Amino acid sequence: MVLSDEATRFVRAAGPEHTEVQERMAALARERRFPNIGPDAGGVLRMVARLTGAETVFEFGSGFGYSASWFLRGGADRVVLTEFDEDELERGEEFLTEAGLADCCQFEHGDALAAVERYDGPFDVVLVDHQKERYEDAFHSVAPKVAEGGVVVADNIMYGPIDFHSLLAHMEGEPRAIDIDDEPSRGVACYLDAVRDDPAFETLVLPVGSGLAVSTKVEETGDRSDPVDT
């Protein structure tokens, strides 16, 4: 965890509670040691869906539907779930059926990067939560399909299968801070560089859960001049 223990406890104590079905999803995740996004980051997904009035959400890496359930709690009309583990996706369909939410879901078995090509968008919210070394590819493939005012959220920016301290050194400008063989950390670093360099998006990192990068699309093209400078 990236926050101090007490700050993490505070965020958890003041954060949202699970529904009954989400509690069973979380229990399965604990049993299988499956890395779902957790309730605090889930609360951010719910808020982003609510604030964007999300009609369509696209997920890269859905597991058994836990993150999708938070978008749906935030009022999203439709979530496209992608997952290359068929058993996980089927379990997700069962859970979301039990929650009465499956009619709002489209289940895509297979590679998320192939699935996104079958959709034109617009997407109001996107979750990037699959292989870290493919985060940047996911961003480039989906960015043109994100609605203006839409949001791309990426998980595991500060915690997970990445090396926090080498990523921190990279963000602070240290050259070659990340080991050449550390593909997940390099993947997250390349993702952060790409979203922060894209003038169509405004990005910040929230130290919630495993760390979220939240990027809002502020315009369709990349020729915005920053009003602060004019």
Ligand X SMILES: C[S@@+](CC[C@H](N)C(=O)[O-])C[C@H]1O[C@@H](n2cnc3c(N)ncnc32)[C@H](O)[C@@H]1O
Element holding 47 (H helix, E strand): helix 38-52
CA distances from 190 to 20, 140, 214 (A): 38, 12, 15
Q: Which of 130, 132, 170, 186 binds ligand X (CB under 6 A)?
A: 130
Task: Decide whether 36 or 52 has the Cβ nearer to ligand X.
Answer: 36
Q: Which of residues 60-99 bind ligand X (CB under 6 A)?
A: 61-63, 66-67, 82-85, 88
Q: Judged by CB under 6 A, how many residues of this single chain contact ligand X?
A: 19
Task: Decide whether 24 or 169 has the Cβ nearer to ligand X.
Answer: 24
34 CA to centre of own chain: 16
User: Which residues, in sequence order, are CB contacts of 138 under 8 Å at separation 6+?
Assistant: 60, 112, 113, 116, 128, 130
Task: Decide whether 114 or 218 has the Cβ nearer to ligand X.
Answer: 114
Q: Which of 44, 112, 167, 178 binds ligand X (CB under 6 A)?
A: 112
Rounded distance, CA 140 to CA 61, Å?
A: 16
Our finding on whether 136 is near ligand X (CB under 6 A) is no
Rule CB under 6 A: which residues touch ligand X?
35-37, 61-63, 66-67, 82-85, 88, 111-113, 129-131
